[in-house]
Amino acid sequence: MTTTFSTTGRVAVVTGGSRGIGRRVVERLAAEGYAVVVNYRGRQEAAEEAVTAARAAGGTAIAVPADVADPAAVAALFDTAEREFGGVDVVVHAAGMMTLAPLADLDLDQLDEMLRINVRGTFVVDQQAARRVRPGGAIVNFSSSLTRFARPGYSAYAASKGAVSTMTLILARELRGRDVTVNAVAPGPTATELFLDGKDEQTLARIAAEPPMERIGTPDDIAELVVFLAGPGRWVNGQVLYANGGAI
């Protein structure tokens, strides 16, 4: 028997939706029929472009600014989603930051800021999501395959994403009986502006050769998985899914 998942009336909040993977997730959810709230922190023009792209894909979208680590701002973000669209069914928390340096050299102020955005930000967004997502909904966080790669220079970033993975697994169990799934996607190298910046062709070729698929991932690769977890993937819960072409 084939079951068709309906997105009619479903509402998604996507943090970090103005660029990169988050931007592609916005477009894909809109194309599936979701009303999408595009959260951004400081890139209003990029967020408005994401809204335009979402509408062109056939969906409904608005842009709402919020610092994901600020509880009042995040509560206001969810308030807006509920006021404009009637509720929240899916939360995709794609906002994050990455600062790279060997552990011995990383400036602690940079560490504090990354932990604020990646760890506290996930906690704050997930708090609101846990309180507000409707039955049949989904929470999708973003971890990273770097928690397994153990590459020099990534200790702080990988540690912050390891915290995201742990929060995800525990929250899934805390929401027992709510009919809300909680998962994390852990991308490997993905061809976004942030990833490609500063890398020469030789470096990119070396990275592309690592997975058996012999290429670098694309935002589409990751967005496709997010759309599955947001909708029809109801029996996937409390998992960290490593989307890296088999590199690990």
Q: Give the Cβ contact number of residue 136 at 10 Å.
A: 15
- 23 in the Ramachandran plot: left (φ > 0), alpha (ψ -120 to 50) or beta? alpha
Does the annotation count 157 as an active-site position?
yes
Q: Which two tokens stand for residue 151?
A: 């590459």
60-65 sheet: strands from edge to edge: 60-65, 35-40, 11-15, 88-93, 133-142, 181-187, 240-243
Rounded Cα–Cα distance for residues 22 and 43 (Å): 13
Count of alpha carbons within 13 angstroms of residue 101, beta-carbon side: 11
Catalytic residue among 40, 154, 157, 242: 157
User: Which residues belong to the active site?
Assistant: 157
